[in-house]
Structure 1
Amino acid sequence: MFAKASRFIGEVKGELRKANWPWESDPKIKGFKKYKELVDSTVVVLIAAILLAGFVSLWDIVHTQVVFFLTKLGS
Structure 2
Amino acid sequence: MFDKIRNFIEEVKAELRKATWPWDSDPKAKGLKKYKELVDSTVVVMIAIVLLAGFVAVSDLLLSEALSFIIGKVAS
Q: What's the TM-score, normalizing by structure 2?
A: 0.91
What is the identity percentage for the equivalent residue pairs of Structure 1 and Structure 2?
Answer: 60
Match of residue 71 from structure 1 = 71
Q: Within 2, Cα distance between the matches of 1:38 and 1:47?
A: 14
Q: Within 2, Cα distance between the matches of 1:53 and 1:2?
A: 49
Query: Any runs of at least 4 consecutive aligned residues in structure 1 with deviations exceeding 4 A, and if so which?
Result: none
Does residue 60 (structure 1) correspond to residue 60 (structure 2)? The answer is yes
1:9 CA displacement: 1.8
Q: Any stretches of 5+ residues in structure 2 without a counterpart?
A: none
Q: Any stretches of 5+ residues in structure 1 without a counterpart?
A: none
Q: How many residue pairs are counted as aligned between the two chains? A: 75
1:7 CA displacement: 1.8
1:4 CA displacement: 2.5
Match of residue 31 from structure 1 = 31
Query: What is the RMSD computed on CA atoms of the aligned residues?
Result: 1.0
Q: What's the TM-score, normalizing by structure 1?
A: 0.92
Match of residue 50 from structure 1 = 50
Deviations along 1:13-55, one digit per CA (max 9) or x if unpaired, are: 1111110101000101111110001000000000001101110
